[in-house]
Structure 1
Amino acid sequence: MDVRLVTGEGVEERPVEELAALLEREDGLVWVDVPSCDEEAVRVLSEVFGFHPMAVQDCVVRNRVPKVHAYPDQMFVVLHAPARGKRGHVHYIELDHFVGRNYLVTVHGPINPEAEPGIALRETRAVLARIVAGRLRPATPFELAYAIVSALIRNQEAYVETVTSDVWRLEQQVTGGRVGDPEEFLNELFRARHGLLAVRTMGALGGAIYGRMANLLRVSPEGQRLVVDIEDQFDRIRSLADGEREYLQGVIEFYQTVLTIKAALVGQAQNAEVKRLTEASYTQNEEIKKISAWAAIFFAPTLVGTVYGMNFIHMPELHWIVGYPLALFLMALGSAALYMVFKRRGWL
Structure 2
Amino acid sequence: MECVVYEERSGRSETVECGLDDEACRLVLKRLRGLGDGEFGWVRLIDPAEGELVQLAQALGLHPLAVEDAVQARQRPKRERFGDVLAVALKTVWYVEEEAAVETGELMLFVGPRYILTVRHGAVDPVAEAARRLEADPSMLRFGPLSVLHAVLDVVVDAYGEAATTVRAALDRLEDRVFSSSRVDHTEDIYSLKREVREFRDAVQPLVPVLPGLLGGLAEEERPAKVLPYFRDVADHLHRTDTEVRTLDELLTSVLDAQQARVGTWQNDDMRRISAWAAIFAVPTMVAGVYGMNFEHMPELGWSYGYPLAVGLMAMASGFLYRAFRRNGWLHTSGSGGSDTEPNAVPGPSEAVGDLALAIWMTASAGFAFYVANFASYDKTYGTVAGVIVFLAWLWITNLAILLGLEFDAESARRRAIAGGLPRDEEPYVRPRETRTWSDPERRRTER
Shift of 1:214: 4.5
Report the 3-state secondary structure (helix = DSSP H, G, I; strand = E; otherwise coil) of the residue aligned with 2:6: strand
Match of 1:89 among 85, 101, 113: 101
Residue 186 (structure 1) aligned with residue 195 (structure 2): no
- Select the residue among 78, 86, 101 that pairs with 1:67: 78
What amino acid is aligned across from residue 89 of structure 1 in structure 2?
A: A
Residues in 2 aligned to 1:246 and 1:194: alpha-carbon distance in whole angstroms: 12
In the alignment, which residue of structure 1 is the partner of 2:28? 19
Equivalent residue of 2:217, what SS? coil
In structure 1, distance between residues paired with 2:124 and 2:256: 33
Superposed, 1:1-348 pairs within 5 Å as 1-7=1-7, 8-14=10-16, 15=18, 16=24, 17-24=26-33, 25=35, 26-85=37-96, 87-109=99-121, 111=122, 119-121=123-125, 123-134=126-137, 137-139=140-142, 140-177=144-181, 179=182, 181-182=184-185, 185-216=186-217, 218=219, 220-222=223-225, 224-289=228-293, 291=294, 293-294=295-296
Instruction: Work out the CA distance in 2 between the residues paired with 1:98 and 1:22.
Output: 18
- Name the amino acid aligned to 1:6: Y
**Structure 2 contact 11–139 (Cα < 8 Å) conserved:** no
1:32 touches 1:105 (CA, 8 Å); kept in 2? yes
The TM-score with structure 1 as length reference comes to: 0.71
Aligned to 2:397: none
**Partner SS for 2:158:** helix
Determine the C-alpha separation between the residues in 2 that align with 1:89 and 1:166.
Answer: 10
| Structure with the larger RCO, 1 or 2 (CA within 8 Å, 6+ apart) | 1
Return the offset for 1:93. 0.9
Q: Deviations over 1:222-247 (max 9, x none)?
A: 35544444332321210122233444
TM norm structure 2: 0.56
Q: Which amino acid aligns with 2:66?
A: A
Match of 1:326? none
Distance in 2, matches of 1:49 and 1:92, equals 28
Once the two structures are TM-superposed, the CA of residue 284 in structure 1 deviates from its matched residue by 4.1
Q: Which runs of 5+ in 2 are unaligned?
A: 19-23, 298-448
Conservation of the 8 A alpha-carbon contact between 1:142 and 1:226: no
Deviation at 1:254, TM superposition (A): 3.8
Q: Does the residue aligned with 2:188 lie in a helix, a strand or coil?
A: helix
Partner Cα separation in structure 2 for residue 278 and residue 52 of structure 1: 84
Tell me: CA distance 1:91–1:3, structure 2 relative to 1, closer, same or farther (3 Å).
same
Change in 2 beyond 3 A, CA 1:267/1:87: farther
Structure 1 letter corresponding to 2:40 = L
**Number of residue equivalences:** 281
Q: Distance in 2 between matches of 1:20 and 1:37?
A: 16
Structure 1 residues 136 and 204: alpha-carbon distance in aligned structure 2, compared to 1, 3 A threshold: farther
Residue-by-residue CA offset, 1:126-175 (whole Å, 9 max, x unaligned): 12223344566423111211111110111111111111111222233344
How far does residue 105 in structure 1 lie from its aligned partner after superposition? 0.5
Q: Matches of 1:260 and 1:12 in 2, distance apart?
A: 66
SS at match of 1:120: coil
Secondary structure of 1:77's counterpart equals: strand
8 Å Cα contact 1:211/1:228 also seen in 2: yes
Does the 8 Å contact 2:79/2:86 carry over to 1?
A: yes
> Hey, what does 2:308 align to over in structure 1?
none
RMSD: 2.7
Cα separation, 1, equivalents of 2:46 and 2:146: 20
- The residue identity in structure 1 corresponding to 2:28 is L
Task: Kindly indicate whether the alpha-carbon contact (under 8 Å) linking 2:134 and 2:151 is maintained by their aligned counterparts in 1.
Answer: no
3-state SS, counterpart of residue 191 of structure 2: helix
Looking at structure 1, the residues matched to 256 and 217 of structure 2 have their Cα atoms a distance apart, in angstroms, of: 43
* Residue of structure 2 equivalent to 1:330: none
- Residues 28-80 of structure 1 deviation map (CA, whole Å, 9 limit, x = unaligned): 12100001121453233332212111111111113152222111111111111
The aligned amino acid for 1:209 is: V
Relative to structure 1, the CA distance from residue 128 to residue 220 in structure 2 (aligned partners, 3 Å threshold; closer, same or farther) is: closer
